[in-house]
Amino acid sequence: MSSPGTTETPAPSPARAETGNRLPVGRLLAFTTAGFLAIMTETMPAGLLPQIGDGLDVTEAWAGQLVTLYAIGSTVAAIPIIAATRSMNRRPLLLWAVGGLLVFNTVTALSALYGLTLFARFVAGMASGVIWGVLAGYARRLVPAALQGRALAIVGVGQPIALTFGVPLGTWLGSLFDWRGVFWIMSAVALLLMLWVRALVPDVPGQSAAERLPIRRIFTTPGVRPVLAVVFFWILAHNILYTYIAPFLEEAGLKDRVDVALLVFGAAAIVGIWATGVLVDRMLRTVTLISLAAFAAAAVVLGIGHESPWVVFPGIVAWGLTFGGAPTLLQTAIADAAGEGADVAQSMLVTIFNLAVAGGGLVGGLLLETAGAAAFPWALLVLALAALAVVAGARSHGFTPGHRVAP
């Protein structure tokens, strides 16, 4: 057993041995779909608030709490459930979590009671927290150590796709089937995903009692806390602007181009994920430093040219390119740092990630009220520089130089 904080990898499981030096793309895409489904289920109601409000006889503001309760469920569930299920085989745990989305999306589709709907969304959020807590560690165990970063890049591509297309896709589907029909579609996707995982994704064992480290020890493992700090700074920075992209674009005369801006961001983020996947296993530290430095530069561009469409769109492209690979970099870094505690460390990452998302909404709202949307890029710059300083100082643990494993 490797000691916590090293970048050594446990002995290959039978599932990994089958893959040799090739990425099992079909298996990894099942995980991509799981992440896509989890985020789609979270964000999709945002485009259906008028319909949901009418259907449940509440205001749009109250209907918006369906998104809030889902996020809270994901935040509070990730660490305790992942910690409690470490001995469980990974495939049954993933199937139970996806099954949770199936069941509680179905409850949401059937419910005529606002309170019951909120409860269903909260439990669906808990299932989502488990999905995100288990995906990275499970995916890493299906591939050779030298390909783990690339595998996480494939798994992570579902995130920007869902964030970019989730709300407009939900709105479009709602125009065809009404909002309850959209939740039925989400349930059908969850059922198909369960069949996919059961048929094609091999199981891997959980941890024995001797391998399970206390949560506090995992948290204090060298390298884990610096990575979590970077997660908070980087995700908070991103969500300040992403949450309030509409008022920011309005100042540039792009009030009616929010959908185009999000599409451009999503496309650039996918390219960023691809580039990160190519390089992460060879130079994780270098790519993280370059990405954060370029993210800071993109913030400067957006800050200086926030009133010009000709500057804003290149800035959005740079923002997407530099942020797209962030989840891959951070999940790889924290798993390497945590060693045998990787799954619990990933659940910590999920919790901090969701807190930063919520913080982005709070801080962005305060900035919008006090300083205006023009202040967003400068807040991004400060947070990006803070994250850059943490990465620069985490040379020995967390963001180490060179190959992740011996070439």
Q: Kindly report, residue by residue over 90-101, the tens digit of the pLDDT.
A: 999 999 999 999
Average pLDDT over residues 135-157: 85
Average pLDDT over residues 76-87: 87
In this prediction, residue 19 has a pLDDT band, given cuts at 50, 70 and 90, of very low
Identify the helix (H) or strand (E) that includes residue 327. Answer: helix 326-338
pLDDT of residue 11: 40
Q: CA 222 to CA 213: how far, in whole Å?
A: 14
pLDDT higher than threshold 50 for residue 289? yes
Whether residue 281 contacts residue 147, with contact meaning beta carbons closer than 8 Å, is answered with yes
Q: CA 393 to CA 387: how far, in whole Å?
A: 10
Longest Cα–Cα distance of the chain, Å, equals: 61
Q: Scan for tokens 């939740």, then name that residue.
A: 183
Range among 19-33, 59-73, 252-266, 380-394 rated most confident: 380-394
Average pLDDT over residues 60-88: 85
Average pLDDT over residues 186-199: 96
Fold of 19-200: Growth Hormone; Chain: A; (1.20.1250)
pLDDT higher than threshold 80 for residue 207? no
Burial of 407 (0-12, 13-18, 19+ CB in 10 A): exposed
pLDDT higher than threshold 60 for residue 20? no
Taking CB atoms within 8 Å and a gap of at least 24, the contacts of 260-264 are 261/312, 261/313, 261/316, 262/164, 263/164, 264/313, 264/316, 264/317, 264/320
Domain with CATH 1.20.1250.20 in the chain: 19-200, 215-393
Whether residue 35 contacts residue 132, with contact meaning beta carbons closer than 8 Å, is answered with yes
pLDDT of residue 405: 64
In this prediction, residue 210 has a pLDDT band, given cuts at 50, 70 and 90, of low
pLDDT higher than threshold 50 for residue 10? no
CATH number of 215-393: 1.20.1250.20
Q: What is the pLDDT of residues 103-117, one digit of tens each?
A: 999 999 999 999 999
Q: CA 277 to CA 327: how far, in whole Å?
A: 11
Q: For 154, how many CA atoms within 13 A lie in the half-sphere containing its CB?
A: 17
What percentage of the chain reaches a pLDDT higher than 90? 41
pLDDT higher than threshold 80 for residue 61? no
pLDDT higher than threshold 60 for residue 370? yes
pLDDT higher than threshold 90 for residue 387? yes
Q: CA 35 to CA 32: how far, in whole Å?
A: 5
pLDDT higher than threshold 90 for residue 266? no
- For the chain, give the number of residues: 407
pLDDT of residue 291: 95
What percentage of the chain reaches a pLDDT higher than 70? 93
Of residues 232 and 357, more confidently modeled: 232
Average pLDDT over residues 282-304: 94
Q: CA 345 to CA 79: how far, in whole Å?
A: 8
DSSP 207-257: --TTT---HHHHHTSTTHHHHHHHHHHHHHHHHHHHHTHHHHHHHTT-GGG
Q: Scan for tokens 């309760």, then name that residue.
A: 69
Q: CA 349 to CA 228: how far, in whole Å?
A: 6
pLDDT higher than threshold 90 for residue 50? no
Burial of 388 (0-12, 13-18, 19+ CB in 10 A): buried
Nearest partner of 374 among 306, 295, 297, judged by Cα? 306
Average pLDDT along the chain: 86
Average pLDDT over residues 207-223: 81
Of residues 169 and 234, more confidently modeled: 234
pLDDT of residue 356: 87
Q: Scan for tokens 């620069």, then name that residue.
A: 392
Whether residue 98 contacts residue 50, with contact meaning beta carbons closer than 8 Å, is answered with no
